[in-house]
Amino acid sequence: MPSIVVVGAQWGDEGKGKIIDYLAKYVDVIVRYNGGANAGHTVNIKGRKYVFHLLPSGALYSGKTLVIGNGVVVDVAQLLDEIRTVEEAGYRVNLILSNRAHVVMPWHKLIDKASGGKIGTTGRGIGPTYTDKMWRKTAVRISDLISRNFRDKLREILKLKEHELKHYGIIGDSVEEYLEEVYSSLSKLVEAIKPYVDDVSLRLNEFLDQGKWVLFEGAQGTMLDVDHGTYPYVTSSNTISGGACTGAGVPPTRIDVVLGVAKAYTTRVGKGPMPTEIRGEIAEHIREKGGEYGATTGRPRRIGWLDLVVLKYARRINGFSNLALTKLDVLSGIKTIKIAIGYELDGRKIDYIPASSEEYARVKPIYVEFPGWRDISRDEWREIARSGVSTMPKEAIKYVNFIREELNVDIAIISVGPSREETILLKDVFNIKEWGRY
Ligand code: IMP
């Protein structure tokens, strides 16, 4: 039965939240498999804007099972806050939280804030939590947090981390005092979180056995993947489609569809190379029109033209043959639009992403230019969404067709505005007809 991974093809913020929210109506289960509260999914429903950092984006559909997999790092207080927001909006939260997921501890956030500047992290404790996960001796999993021995475990960890935490000024003279402070703040949350905790791999595989439809929601994007992104200017998890398997405990043989999501241009938050970055009037126009400010940190996003070298790389690594193209409306009213089709590195033409970020920072994009199209009002985009893609301006059709042909993908969805009504569906990505579900 269909299971689908929705994955960002650029540097995150591709508009996955909206696409997932749009697809969520078809599925029974929505799973987060990587990252933590560094992500920010914005969903607009009935004129109200909701931002989730940990809950899957489909949280505002009733009757869905939401899952947070073992690959996620969980800020428990933040998660409980989001659950409360959804409940206050009148929805029931049916959540399964992996007992194998790691907990973002108070010191992780402080260390990240004190030392994440070089990479431009979100300060949510992501890197330090994954560091402890990989180091193993100093990590806290959800299963530790809810165990009766949590205080002893915490004491052991603080013994090993004392030197580091003193270095950052997190612990003063008394380790015991700090231990009690952390213990009392976290143990208050244990009873609230316990009912959600379960074995996610077991439950997900059962759901798939029962024929339930499962959507895996990638956080961040391909170019921020810890292995395949622009290292070291990346996040600390596997953001790519393969991350769904490791981060939720489902085998690759159980994934049916991978849907890539790309913005019609490029954005990036934080530091690191971005070959098609532009500054000046057009960048400002796109930033303002597209609301390009970080959903988690509020930082202005860096803006650039669409980069097909990046998208081809993302297509290869994630294996998507379907693409959702978002924010096409934002490009309206620009006289000439560019797309990068290759790079030049030290006078040589290349069509790949160099492993070294120093080299990647030196590449110069090779562009093709497209005539833009007139500014189009929200109402007109809604009308276009209702009447179909052929009613788009012919220049916009040409732009989209070029991307489709160059990438050799099916453009399944075009998003032309934040609301559910501003979505053009071109292809039934789930083969819904074939599976007999409308
Ligand atoms: P971290 O994930 O907070 O460690 O940040 C590492 C890098 O990933 C920084 O450049 C962040 O700006 C970027 N990043 C993390 N999460 C997101 C996201 O959801 N969207 C876009 N960029 C992100």
What DSSP letter does each residue of 386-407 carry, written as one string?
HH-GGGS-HHHHHHHHHHHHHH
Average pLDDT over residues 366-384: 96
CA of 318 to the centre of ligand 1 (A): 19
- Domains of the chain from N-terminus onward: 3-90+199-433 (3.90.170.10), 109-195 (1.10.300)
Least confident among 34-43, 171-180, 249-258, 336-345? 34-43
What is the pLDDT confidence band of residue 126, given thresholds at 50, 70 and 90? very high
> Quick one: how far is CA 259 from the chain centroid?
13
Q: Is 343 exposed, middle or buried (0-12, 13-18, 19+ CB in 10 A)?
A: buried
Q: Which atom of ligand 1 is nearest to the CA of 297?
A: 12
More reliable by pLDDT, 49 or 219: 219
In the reported structure, the alpha carbon of residue 224 is separated from the centroid of ligand 1 by a whole-number distance in angstroms of 7
Atom of ligand 1 nearest to the CA of 270: 10
Active site residue 41: yes
* Whether pLDDT at 437 is above 60: no
Ligand 1: atom nearest CA of 116 is: 4
Mean pLDDT of 343-357: 97
Expressed in angstroms and rounded, the spacing between residue 279 Cα and the centre of ligand 1 is 21
Query: Which position among 13, 112, 225, 329 bears the catalytic label?
Result: 13
Atom number in ligand 1 closest to CA 39: 19
Residues within a 6 A CB radius of ligand 1? 12-13, 38-40, 119-122, 124, 126-127, 219-220, 224, 233, 235-236, 269-270
Of 196, 236, 218, 235, the closest CA to residue 95 belongs to 196
pLDDT at 430 over 70: no
pLDDT of residue 420: 85
13 and 299 in contact (C-beta within 8 Å)?
Answer: no
- Is the dihedral angle over the CA atoms 199, 205, 209, 213 positive or is it negative? positive
What average pLDDT does range 109-115 have in this prediction?
96
Catalytic residue among 21, 28, 41, 225: 41
Residue having the nearest C-alpha atom to atom 15 of ligand 1: 38
| 436 band by pLDDT with thresholds 50, 70 and 90 | very low
Reply yes or no on whether the pLDDT at 1 is more than 70. Answer: no
Banded pLDDT at 125 (limits 50, 70, 90): very high
For residue 270, how far is its CA from the centre of ligand 1 (angstroms)?
A: 7
Question: What number is the average pLDDT over the span 128-144?
Answer: 98
Summarize the confidence of residues 95-123 as an average pLDDT: 95
| pLDDT (0 to 100) of residue 156 | 97
Predicted pLDDT at 21: 83
Q: Assess whether 13 carries a catalytic annotation.
A: yes
| 91 has a pLDDT exceeding 90 | no
- What is the secondary structure of 132-184 as a DSSP string? HHHH-TT--BHHHHTSTTHHHHHHHHHHHHHHHHHHTT-S-S-HHHHHHHHHH
Task: Give nearest CA residue, ligand 1 atom 8.
Answer: 235
Confidence at residue 212, expressed as pLDDT on a 0 to 100 scale: 95
Angle at 361 between CA 360 and CA 364, to 5 degrees: 85
The separation between the first and the last C-alpha atoms of the chain, rounded to the nearest angstrom, is 14
Share of the chain above pLDDT 70, in %: 97
Q: Nearest 5 degrees, angle CA 199-CA 12-CA 370?
A: 145
- H/E segment holding residue 413: strand 410-415
- Mean pLDDT across the chain: 94
Does pLDDT of 426 surpass 70? yes
pLDDT mean over 16-39: 92
Name the closest-CA residue to atom 1, ligand 1: 121
Binned at pLDDT 50, 70 and 90, residue 438 comes out as very low
pLDDT digit string, tens, across residues 146-205: 999 999 999 999 999 999 999 999 999 899 999 999 999 999 999 999 999 999 999 999
Model pLDDT, residue 155: 97
Give the distance (Å) from ligand 1 centre to CA of residue 105: 18
